[in-house]
Amino acid sequence: DVQMVESGGDLVKPGGSLRLSCVVSGITFSNALMNWVRQAPGKGLEWVGRIKTETDGRTVDYAESVRGRFTISRDDSRDTLYLHMSSLKIEDTAVYHCMTIRQRYGDGYWGQGVLVTVSS
């Protein structure tokens, strides 16, 4: 079974920092383009950013709303995706999911998500 398990969610004050992790099992993580997606309370899904594989240069793209504040990285030796968040704003409050689509294999997976609350 494929599992994608996020962790690191917490209550943090505006301006603070947090690091989320997503541990992946059941697929070859190093071959997977990985995304972070969030959903704020009562809102739709918002793409946060993605990181490509080492083969594709580990290129990272970000949504405009988080560029310069969030950093996505990956550790293929640990099958883990990271989201480093800094200068957090109240509007960053959301459930954060890691996800991937693997067209080559005809599948795609999301983690259950982790809650980040930014509040004073």
Partner 1 sequence: EIVLTQSPGTLSLSPGERATLSCRASQTVNSRFLAWYQRKPGQPPRLLLYAASSRATGIPDRFSGRWSGTDFTLTISRLEPEDFAVYFCHQYGSSPPITFGQGTRLEI
Least distance to partner 1, CB of residue 61, Å: 4
| Region of 26 on the Ramachandran plot (φ > 0 left; ψ -120 to 50 alpha; else beta) | left
The Cα–Cα gap between 64 and 26 comes to 32
Question: Which residues, other chains included, contact 104 with Cβ-Cβ below 8 Å and sequence gap of 6+?
Answer: none
Residue 45 binds to partner 1 (criterion: CB under 8 A): yes
Q: Which stretch binds partner 1 (CB under 8 A): 18-26, 42-50, 70-78, 86-94?
A: 42-50
Among 42, 44, 57, 68, binds partner 1 (CB under 8 A): 44
Binding interface with partner 1 (CB under 8 A)? 35, 37, 44-47, 50, 61-64, 97, 99, 101, 103, 105-113
